């Protein structure tokens, strides 16, 4: 398997683990400091810098602490070259289920998420 693909998958699982655990240190290890998160959930455009998102993550109970099941899966990884990739994945903080599109760049020798666009829906 291509080493870059494996490294991207590891970065994505670090993201998913950090999200489940509410661990902004883990999230910070894979999200570039100036990245932004975008969404159009409910018809309202959202544009958050990483630090705003970390405030939200720190301010809510973690899925792990609530004993919530994980619904994580990497759907696809598309590499344009040795430094640029796009990943699609699913995750959840029930009852909210997410589809994430993550743009990754290989910077300083490691894959970092530089942009996240997502949608969510509520499953009762």
Q: What angle do CA 77, 122, 51 make, to 5 degrees?
A: 60
Q: Which domains does the chain have, with CATH numbers?
A: 3-122 (3.10.450.50)
Q: What angle do CA 16, 19, 24 make, to 5 degrees?
A: 120
For the stretch 42-58, pLDDT in tens is 889 999 999 999 999 99
Q: Could you tell me the end-to-end alpha-carbon distance of the chain, in angstroms, rounded to an integer? A: 39
pTM comes to 0.94
Q: What is the pLDDT of residue 124?
A: 77
Distance separating alpha carbons of residues 96 and 121, to the nearest angstrom: 6
Check residue 62 and report its DSSP letter: -
User: Taking residues 6-31, what's their average pLDDT?
Assistant: 98
């Amino acid at each position: 398997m291509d080493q870059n693909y494996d490294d991207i998958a590891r970065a994505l699982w670090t993201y998913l683990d950090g999200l489940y655990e509410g661990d902004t240190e883990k999230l910070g290890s894979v999200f570039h400091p100036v990245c932004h998160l975008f969404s159009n959930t409910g018809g309202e455009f959202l544009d958050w810098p990483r630090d705003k998102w970390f405030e939200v993550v720190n301010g809510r109970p973690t899925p792990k602490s609530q004993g919530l099941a994980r619904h994580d899966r990497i759907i696809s990884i598309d590499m344009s070259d040795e430094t640029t990739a796009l990943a699609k994945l699913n995750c959840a903080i029930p009852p909210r289920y997410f589809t994430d599109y993550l743009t990754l760049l290989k910077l300083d020798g490691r894959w970092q998420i530089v942009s996240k666009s997502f949608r969510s829906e509520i499953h009762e």
